[in-house]
Structure 1
Amino acid sequence: MALSMPPIVRRVVTRAAGLFHPDRRLVAAEFDRRHYLGLSPDVAAAGADPLHHFLTHGWREGRDPNPNFSVRAYLHENPEVARTGLNPFVHYLRHGRKEGRATAPDLGFRYDIIAGRRPIEDEVRESVKATLARGAGEPERLAAGLAKARSGLSRLHVTFSHDDYRKNVGGVQLCMQIEAARVAEQGRDHLHIFPAAHWPVMRDGEEGRLGVLLNGEDLGVYRPADLAAALGKAGTADARERSFAIHSLLGHAVPETLAILEALRLEAGFLWLHDYSSLCAGYNLLRNSVEDCAAPLPESPACGICAFGPWRARHLVGHEQLFGGLTLTVVAPAAVTLDFWRTRWSLPAAGHVVHPHARLVERAAAPVPPSERPLRVAFLGYPVAHKGWPLFKRLVARHAGDARYVFFHLGAQQDTGVAAEFHEVRVAAGGPNAMQQALERLEIDVVLLWPLWRETFSFAAYEALAAGCAVVTGPDSGNVAAIVASTRQGAVLADDAAVEAAFESGQMAKLARAQRRPMLYDLTLSGMTADLLPARAEA
């Protein structure tokens, strides 16, 4: 009969077993503790020894020992190793490296994106499941919440977007936060409507649930028909001072949107071009999420080989219905965005407006740092491929011991596998200049903004320029390339190879603050749609 050990004894025995694991010394030399714990929060929370966890359990769960070795890829490329049941990293260190075996197939990050893509059908099924799991509130609760409106809904501004802007971080969310604050200053009530669960596309026939905020207060989640009915009953006041703006229709169904606006007797409003979801379900116009497609004709062969191709009609037809049922003014945050959009599809807009999210106002000359210091290079935001993270990651790895450069990552989420100095920065309505202030404080010389898609605006570009940084970008980066060209503060380089060559040769040093002697700017944010609304009508 086995004797059970007290928990403290079990922990001691387990730890001792880990310390004397036969492969521990071999693996320890190349095990990245920080990387492993960053990818394994459960191990960190348990206070377990990460190296012992990897040796005993982690490798079987596909957890990688350092950012340069993929357990799954090594086993996939070496099936005979998989059949032995050996720890693949131990095999690589003992045999594989000497035999010239690759730690992973070097097919580039685009291959990794495509290989890891889930079918959109699967994502939609998950969205449906998550949506229905939210349930639906009772109409009486909604009516009680709407009754709290300051103006009795007579001075109501309605907005639609893809999520709850209070809980998520991003450009559209920041726009929504600013717009909410500005319409409140104008004495308007603000009703925000968003899908209760994440959706990768617009809905078309799938059952939905909509979250509702009134002046920033959560009123709950409701069936779209119940929401339209409640608004029809509550919104019986004069509708002349009501307005609406559509910031995103991901997760929305056009007939429901039209019914909600009809209940409030709203017909004329604004549609923002924060992205290109009015042209395709792939709202950033990246074919298979890796290559700019420039929105070709729907019947083109290019759409036939793209994962978003079968879903594109849903967005085109939906927006044709939207423009057919409403009088919409299209608002773009940059001229280059509007010019591109107008050449790609014909939608009967009532008007077109370029209204930048922010403007640069000259403040003072930037302090001049010592000319002999290393060039300070930064990446801003989430470490994701479509923002250019793979290129930045390669630069950091290639120049890790290069005294000419120091690399920084400023954002809300760290990639522990990259040896760049990380500074947590979160931009929100309460601190809209947080990124600019961090860039100034760190005296960053160069910001790499290398998006795969044509950015419609890019707060990051304006934040970098306002802080006196030079911006390095590519020719297909939309408004990023446009603002760099107009300010002449940075460089638009042809491709990844040109960027890597500029770092290798030292040409990038020409963008150092000491050589450019840049200006600092105040970043003046717009009021978004609030700036476009008419002043209050006189009684």
Structure 2
Amino acid sequence: MSDRPIAVIILGMHRSGTSLLAQTVRSLGVYLGDDHQMVPPREDNPEGFWEHAEIVAVHDELLARLSSSWDATKPLPEQWWLTGAGMASRARLTDIIARDFSKHPLWGFKDPRTCLLLPLWQSVFDELNIEPRYILSLRNPLNVAASLYKRDQFQNDKSYAMWNLYVLSSLYYTSHERRIVIDYDRLLEQPAETGRKISDFLDIPYGAMERARVGGLPKPSLRHASFSMQDVWEDQLVPAIVRQTFQLGMMGERDSNALCKEELHESVQNSYDQLLQLNRLLSHEKSHRIRMYWAGADERFTEDKSTYITVSTNGQKNLHTVEIREHLGSVLRIDFFAEPAYFKLSKLSLVYDGQEVNLLRDYAKDYVQFLPFTRPGEEAGCVSGISTGSSSQLVIRDLPPHGMAATLRLELSCSFGIGEDVVQALQLERPAEAALSYALHDASLRIERLLTANAEKEKALGLAAGQIEQQIDTLELLCEDSRKREAKLTALSLELQEQRAEASRLNAEIERREQRAKEDQILLIRQKDLEIENYRRDVAAYAGSLSWKVTLPLRMAREIGRRAKRGLKKKAKSLLQRYAIQRNRNSRYAGLTGRLPHKQYALVFSHTNYLESMGGTEKYIYEQASYLSQNNVGTIQIFPGQSYSLLHTKEDTFYGVVVNDQFRGFYSVREIMEWLSRIHKYLAEIYTHHLLNWQIRDYTALLQNVEKSGVLPQTFFMHDFFALCSSYHMMYQPKIRQSIVEAKERRSCIADVASAAGTGAAICQNCTHGIVLAEWREALKPVLHQSDRIVVPSDFVKVTVAAVYPDITNKIRVRGHLIFDRQTIIYKPRPENRKIRLAFLGYKMENKGWLLWERLYKDEALGRLYEFHHIGSQEKYADQVTVHSYSFLREGKMGAPDLLISQDIDLVLLWSIVPESYSYTLQESIAAGVPVLTSPLSGNIAATIDAHPELGMILNGEDELKAFLFDSEHVRNYVSGDRARYVLEYNHLPTGRREARS
């Protein structure tokens, strides 16, 4: 957030959704003023205008003094903000901000007229040191024209000219300012997503509550017309400059960065220059409004008891009919517009209950700032006169009793051109008043000039006073800063003294303990020496005794038996191993001597048989083998027969061999080495997927044996963090058992390791996995250096690996296991008349959030709102959960997505409590177009959703997850709408090219 106060200015043409946009920013925490300061709702905008009434009044008066109005079609005069009217309005706006908004660091206002008056406002922001941020509401000009025709009967040409002036002015005057463009149609259809865009622009939080508030603002009644963008391009009656302005606005809406580029600034500049030269769009007559108020039952005039008519100033007589659907009361007031003009009200009648009453002839009339007179030969029963002030009024009292609805009929003409006959009639009727009016007008001009001069002097004095106040504030801040530093220095000195005293005490304690330890050690040594001496004496006594000599043969027999037993065990184990090897050779398969059908083979090292296990790594190997087979390349996989330890040097180890999707048996390392030597000519590339359960000695022996017969390209995959630590999920586990129980410190240590940047992280010193960490990495470092490429599934893994092994960063390639192909957009309807469907996807493992899943489906309150499904379970384990089994081998990559789609799943829970390096289940959920719920602990799942929030939500803990789930109406809205679906394809890794190695 900026250090300066921020003003949010909502721009846009009338009837373009600025009121809804104002509601949206208000719901995000932007202060727009108190409710009593707002313009009240009217029939043409029942949801409210959300406009500061006094700011709108200043705008209207300024436009009137500049001979313009809200429906202007041409720009204001050059340098209009430096005129007397502009300077006076500037002072009033400054006072309003100081009075109503100065205590709010984030405030804003909305009035479409601001588009025309931006230079004035920008000078106010500069003077008050306020940072403006502009939000432009853009609506299809065809829809705006239709709305203006319905409300004000404006012809399309005039509406296009107004739209172009407002939108182009807002783009032109906000060049090089911070701004965004919001499409009104998108705001109606995707309010929550648009709210996220606005909150990011304003640097304010956007949580679940804000999303819910914003999502509920649009109403179906707000969409009154539905012209498309294509209609703008195809309608030949839309002027080219309007289409061009609309295109510039949509460019800024689609790409906020485009708003900052010089290409768009130049295009807007050229269009604005063109606007100044076009007269065809600027030749329309200005319209004016006459407002009518009725007192009602409470005998008070208010905005909600009023309406208006739009009149022309061409002097022609027009008949207007106004329907009023409530009781008028006893008084009717007609407010003429502020500019001096000649009015002739030929007829004003009230129609009710089948009868019509002439209000001009039969009822009392009062005039306010209105000069009535009678022209020679004018018919009786009419009112003629000149408005003489900004609040000219005709008041008719003692209206006849009538029902709850009535109709007013007016026959009216008005003109700014006051002819000689009008002047003569006025002089004949009131010669003294005419002379007085001329004198008053002259005095008013002199007073206005004096006020302008006085305002300029006050401004200069105010600026000088402000500078002095700023200097005083700066000096006070410097003094305060100096005092704080002195106090901090004193506190640091006291703290240093305390630390020195504590250090002296600790040193004395250490010396005392060391001395006590030395004394205890000496005492222990003396006790051991005494025990040894006593033992020697006992042995000597026994050796000379008769019992010792008699039992000697028995003791020797027991020792011989133990040795024989150990020998039998060793021989039996050897026989079983030989039997296993012989059985492999005599199996129905060809063993390691069979024919190899392919001319080229990829040699794969991994930790399990990919034909039996279906974890993420095995799925990738299966897809890789299938792809290679399609390209006439076979696959040879070698995996451990038992769970060996990486750093052990155990003999007689056995490893399984799979050739072309056929298991060939378990063999010793020596046998596999001999076989690989014989078939070396078939080997094309080496892929190491995982070394879990391997002895590093066996792996390097096999690798060196292959290298003897010729160098092959090597690719090392890091599907998790096994190459960094024996805790392949990078979970910190304290050495002291009590700390696990008491503090529950088992947590991810990725951030700590990454921040250590290649050096030993402090957290590793207290972790059980840190005991062998140095030896672990030293064993794996030669393997990584030997590899030509190191493939990781995500940037999340790359950052951590590069921090631990910075010297191999140039070898790291980020390549996900799957890619998304053939996108389709579907509309997901809101779940009605059924429960919401929540699914758990994947294995029943604690690390995958299984314990949380159990708590959710056992919650009776949630059970009344949700159906629980488990995609991928082979057993029915709870009545509350519907299980769906599938086989990756049979149904392929789209098995899980197809199940999610066919069961119409609304949400997927991927609540991993360990950081995932990659997630097949996430890719399957995205392919099905189902939103994901996850926790910040889930590693790459959380990182992916943080980068693409449309894919799901990250919820901070079980409480926040349940709060979201229990808000079922919000969830139903959240899961509905447009969703993208994809077809998953294997992301093939191109063949590696061996780099030169010494």
TM-score, structure 1 normalization:
0.66
Shift of 1:360: 2.1
Confirm or deny that 1:257 pairs with 2:717.
no
Aligned residue in 2 for 1:380: 841
Aligned residue in 1 for 2:784: 323
AA matched with 2:650: E
Question: Which of 344, 354, 358 in structure 1 is aligned with 2:814?
Answer: 354
Question: Which of 241, 247, 259 in structure 1 is aligned with 2:689?
Answer: 247
Q: Contact 1:327–1:350 at 8 Å: present in 2 too?
A: no
AA matched with 2:649: G
Confirm or deny that 1:452 pairs with 2:897.
no
The whole-number CA distance in structure 2 between the counterparts of 1:328 and 1:349 is 12
Confirm or deny that 1:145 pairs with 2:592.
yes
The whole-number CA distance in structure 1 between the counterparts of 2:901 and 2:767 is 42
Q: 1:205 to 1:132 in 2, by over 3 A?
A: farther
Matches within 5 A, 1:199-238: 199=644, 201-207=645-651, 208-235=653-680, 237=681
Question: Which of 718, 721, 724 in structure 2 is aligned with 1:276?
Answer: 721
SS in 2 for 1:476: helix
Of all paired residues, the percent bearing the same amino acid is: 22
Shift of 1:144: 6.0
AA matched with 2:964: A
The whole-number CA distance in structure 1 between the counterparts of 2:985 and 2:787 is 30
Matches within 5 A, 1:52-67: none
Q: Say which is worse superposed, 459-468 or 500-509, in terms of deviation.
A: 500-509
AA matched with 2:790: V
The whole-number CA distance in structure 1 between the counterparts of 2:682 and 2:660 is 20
> 1:498-530 CA deviation, whole Å, 9 max, x = no partner?
2122223447615653x3331222122223x4x
The whole-number CA distance in structure 1 between the counterparts of 2:715 and 2:865 is 49
Confirm or deny that 1:504 pairs with 2:960.
no
> 1:303-354 CA deviation, whole Å, 9 max, x = no partner?
3544433343453122113134x23311011222212321233453661211
The whole-number CA distance in structure 2 between the counterparts of 1:130 and 1:409 is 44
Shift of 1:438: 0.6
Q: 1:399 to 1:307 in 2, by over 3 A?
A: farther
Q: 1:133 to 1:275 in 2, by over 3 A?
A: farther
> 1:198-222 CA deviation, whole Å, 9 max, x = no partner?
45x5252123211111112222211
The whole-number CA distance in structure 1 between the counterparts of 2:973 and 2:721 is 32
Q: 1:350 to 1:184 in 2, by over 3 A?
A: farther
Shift of 1:481: 1.5
Q: Which runs of 5+ in 2 are unaligned?
A: 1-571, 734-744, 994-998
> 1:41-76 CA deviation, whole Å, 9 max, x = no partner?
xxxxxxxxxxxxxxxxxxxxxxxxxxxxxxxxxxxx
The whole-number CA distance in structure 2 between the counterparts of 1:311 and 1:461 is 33
The whole-number CA distance in structure 1 between the counterparts of 2:919 and 2:643 is 23
Shift of 1:424: 1.7
Aligned residue in 2 for 1:465: 926
Q: Contact 1:320–1:347 at 8 Å: present in 2 too?
A: no
Aligned residue in 1 for 2:97: none
Shift of 1:467: 0.9
Aligned residue in 2 for 1:332: 792
AA matched with 1:149: L
Aligned residue in 2 for 1:365: 826
The whole-number CA distance in structure 1 between the counterparts of 2:967 and 2:839 is 19
Q: Contact 2:831–2:972 at 8 Å: present in 1 too?
A: no
> 1:430-466 CA deviation, whole Å, 9 max, x = no partner?
5221111110011111111111122111010111111
Q: Say which is worse superposed, 298-307 or 182-191, in terms of deviation.
A: 298-307
Q: Which runs of 5+ in 1 are unaligned?
A: 1-128, 535-539
Q: Contact 2:784–2:790 at 8 Å: present in 1 too?
A: no
The whole-number CA distance in structure 1 between the counterparts of 2:863 and 2:891 is 38
Question: Which of 318, 336, 341 in structure 1 is aligned with 2:801?
Answer: 341
Q: Contact 2:625–2:635 at 8 Å: present in 1 too?
A: yes
Confirm or deny that 1:176 pairs with 2:618.
no
Shift of 1:364: 3.4
Q: Say which is worse superposed, 175-184 or 474-483, in terms of deviation.
A: 474-483
The whole-number CA distance in structure 1 between the counterparts of 2:838 and 2:576 is 45
The whole-number CA distance in structure 1 between the counterparts of 2:856 and 2:968 is 13
Question: Which of 472, 487, 492 in structure 1 is aligned with 2:954?
Answer: 492
Q: 1:192 to 1:517 in 2, by over 3 A?
A: same
Aligned residue in 1 for 2:857: 396
The whole-number CA distance in structure 1 between the counterparts of 2:986 and 2:575 is 38
Q: 1:497 to 1:144 in 2, by over 3 A?
A: closer
Shift of 1:402: 4.0
Q: Say which is worse superposed, 253-262 or 275-284, in terms of deviation.
A: 253-262
Q: Which has the higher helix share?
A: 2
The whole-number CA distance in structure 2 between the counterparts of 1:330 and 1:167 is 26
Q: 1:366 to 1:347 in 2, by over 3 A?
A: farther
The whole-number CA distance in structure 2 between the counterparts of 1:259 and 1:198 is 18
Q: Contact 1:474–1:494 at 8 Å: present in 2 too?
A: yes
Shift of 1:477: 1.6
> 1:385-414 CA deviation, whole Å, 9 max, x = no partner?
100111122122224564322211112344
Q: Contact 2:824–2:982 at 8 Å: present in 1 too?
A: yes
The whole-number CA distance in structure 1 between the counterparts of 2:974 and 2:705 is 57
Q: 1:302 to 1:349 in 2, by over 3 A?
A: closer
Confirm or deny that 1:189 pairs with 2:634.
yes
SS in 2 for 1:202: coil
Aligned residue in 1 for 2:148: none
> 1:478-514 CA deviation, whole Å, 9 max, x = no partner?
221232233322101222222122223447615653x
Q: Say which is worse superposed, 495-504 or 137-146, in terms of deviation.
A: 137-146
> 1:162-205 CA deviation, whole Å, 9 max, x = no partner?
01110112111111111111111221221100001245x52521
The whole-number CA distance in structure 2 between the counterparts of 1:507 and 1:421 is 23
Q: 1:396 to 1:182 in 2, by over 3 A?
A: same
AA matched with 2:954: V
Question: Which of 425, 440, 443 in structure 1 is aligned with 2:901?
Answer: 440
AA matched with 2:885: E
CA RMSD of aligned residues (A): 3.2
Q: Contact 1:484–1:492 at 8 Å: present in 2 too?
A: yes
Confirm or deny that 1:293 pairs with 2:749.
yes
Structure with higher Rg: it is: 2
Aligned residue pairs total 397
AA matched with 2:852: L
Q: Contact 1:470–1:511 at 8 Å: present in 2 too?
A: no
Higher relative contact order (CA 8 A, sep 6+): 1
Q: 1:383 to 1:495 in 2, by over 3 A?
A: same
